Structure 1
């Protein structure tokens, strides 16, 4: 059902370079610095969006696992942040509409928020959730069992995409953007990135997320606050650095619409700011979820009002 009949470059004929130029522009839109000093990180990973989109668009049988959930134990209340679940839900819904099977991966502390986000995205089909416990006595075995399950599926997992998921730094400690230790509140989902049979993708915005190991640590140390402590060492096949991680999901879906016109209508039918706001509203009210910078429930993401995110969505999708 998802298998391209011919190579993408042949099917698009003379539009190949135009498509590449648009995806490059998309990457610039989604990679806007919102005050964290990420521009050197964006430059170091230039081309990651195109490579990721091509990897999915050209795969003969894509089956995507999407991982998210950044729990903030020092928030009021302690809860997952709004960045991540929204992008996860939008990406999952868009891929499912295009006929691509999806699984959602998170940990026990973030599960409720992520599930609310997925439901708010309008996904009516029963979507598989893989939940890894935070308790250290159980989580590593759960990760191993999960990889075995993925390999045994009729269509094995082809891609694992992490959106705003924290990972360990050089000393094995997982830290938030303030440099605080959150290891005890973060299941070791980074171990899933060790699989040699799965194409791994990281989407992040601050240097402490899974996949940031692709960037030389000196760049993160020099340009990101607390970079010497928080820089994640876990690498991936393709890395997308954005101003806000949710934007990476928008960029990826838009890029897939450009590469695969046969998926375009299905993807775009639910990729809009109204749906995005409904997801945000739902997770804040029913998750709960909190703004990752404010640390409190708010209809904002990373201290940016929703109208800012709506603008990014509008500008990105207008490229199609």
Structure 2
């Protein structure tokens, strides 16, 4: 039987996790001196941090065997990012696997139709099998990768998905959402193309039905940041126009959305006392390679290279290694130095 980890010990681990994933290492000037400000605003809006632990607690409260969780991602552009980014799919895949390992819940993944191959390849790279939904719901360590509509059918589709799969929770990782005028934007403030999947319909309906939600992002234009819209407008260039209106119950800002997902993964591993459910640096690199091989591109440069938001894959691999060390060493009790 797993011995419960004391809350003060978890809080300390969570603070270190959050500090790591909010270290700024972005290439774009529009992302500089932003993420720490958004993180602090998110802490204030949610009664304090660490936010990774808050998200992990939310997951463990609402998910378990026989439950379903819907995870969505998707940021792209027909010209520069036709199959989506390298930021988002790895985060969704890793967190989906960790949630299943920690809770037994069945994860189902959603994205734009042109991004399905990217997300499926990345998901296989982390070690989750891809099946038809009816099989994924009852087969361990598998998932389904499903399309989200970009047109007026999105609302009916969202209702159908919620009615069919009856999720106990919905999670967004690097999924662009609309502002109050109904327009979604890139991180530089450019309106997105018309084929953006309208995942907000899932989250709007989930909120109406009282289904808990978690948002993870890095710029303020992703689902969830409506919770701190004033801070996005204040600290992010073009923030007043690009900030999404969509709020989530829990919001985790990070330097890259993948990193935010890995932070929640790490906090979840700490809360259940099982650091082995976290993915390794080798798996991280394998995911990024699979993502790029499936036509995914670096979101900062638009190039099909092993980068995430302008950061070499080695950086994300190092973050994954450090998160693992924070959790493993943070869970140690009774250690006494011999000299």
Same fold, TM-score > 0.5, yes or no: yes
Q: Distance in 2 between matches of 1:137 and 1:219?
A: 31
Quote the residue 2:9 is aligned against.
Answer: 18
Q: Distance in 2 between matches of 1:93 and 1:50?
A: 17
Q: Distance in 1 between matches of 2:238 and 2:73?
A: 22
Q: Distance in 2 between matches of 1:64 and 1:191?
A: 16
Quote the residue 1:314 is aligned against.
Answer: 321
Q: Alignment RMSD, CA only?
A: 1.9
1:45 Cα deviation (Å)? Answer: 1.5
TM-score of the pair, normalised by structure 1? 0.87
Q: Kindly indicate whether residue 70 of structure 2 is the aligned counterpart of residue 65 of structure 1.
A: yes
1:71 Cα deviation (Å)? Answer: 1.6
Pick the aligned partner of 2:157 from 129, 137, 142.
142
**Does the 8 A contact of 1:163 with 1:204 survive in 2?**
yes
What's the CA shift string for 1:14-64, capped at 9, x where partnerless? x32011111121111112223412221010112232211111223363532
Name whichever of 235-244 and 137-146 sits farther off: 137-146
Q: Distance in 1 between matches of 2:214 and 2:193?
A: 22
1:225 Cα deviation (Å)? Answer: 1.8
Q: Distance in 2 between matches of 1:295 and 1:192?
A: 28
Runs of at least 5 residues in structure 1 that lack an aligned partner in the other structure: 152-156
Q: Distance in 2 between matches of 1:214 and 1:228?
A: 13
Q: Distance in 2 between matches of 1:199 and 1:50?
A: 16
SS state at 2:128 partner: coil
Q: Distance in 1 between matches of 2:87 and 2:63?
A: 31
**Does the 8 A contact of 1:169 with 1:233 survive in 2?**
yes
Quote the residue 1:45 is aligned against.
Answer: 42
Q: Kindly indicate whether residue 297 of structure 2 is the aligned counterpart of residue 290 of structure 1.
A: yes
Pick the aligned partner of 1:226 from 235, 238, 241.
238
Pick the aligned partner of 1:130 from 129, 143, 146.
146
Aligned residues: 298
**Does the 8 A contact of 1:167 with 1:209 survive in 2?**
yes
What's the CA shift string for 1:166-202, capped at 9, x where partnerless? 0001211011112222151212111111213311000
Q: Kindly indicate whether residue 294 of structure 2 is the aligned counterpart of residue 303 of structure 1.
A: no
SS state at 1:162 partner: strand
Q: Kindly indicate whether residue 194 of structure 2 is the aligned counterpart of residue 187 of structure 1.
A: no
Matches within 5 A, 1:107-126: 107-124=112-129, 125-126=141-142
Pick the aligned partner of 2:89 from 85, 88, 95.
85
Q: Distance in 2 between matches of 1:109 and 1:186?
A: 10
SS state at 1:50 partner: helix
Q: Distance in 2 between matches of 1:24 and 1:140?
A: 38
Q: Distance in 2 between matches of 1:60 and 1:300?
A: 33
TM-score of the pair, normalised by structure 2? 0.83
Matches within 5 A, 1:262-277: 263-265=274-276, 267-268=277-278, 271-277=279-285
**Does the 8 A contact of 1:113 with 1:283 survive in 2?**
yes
Summarize the Cα distance change of 1:192–1:137 in structure 2 as closer, same or farther, 3 Å threshold.
closer
Quote the residue 1:154 is aligned against.
Answer: none
Q: Distance in 2 between matches of 1:58 and 1:162?
A: 18
SS state at 1:318 partner: helix
SS state at 1:319 partner: helix
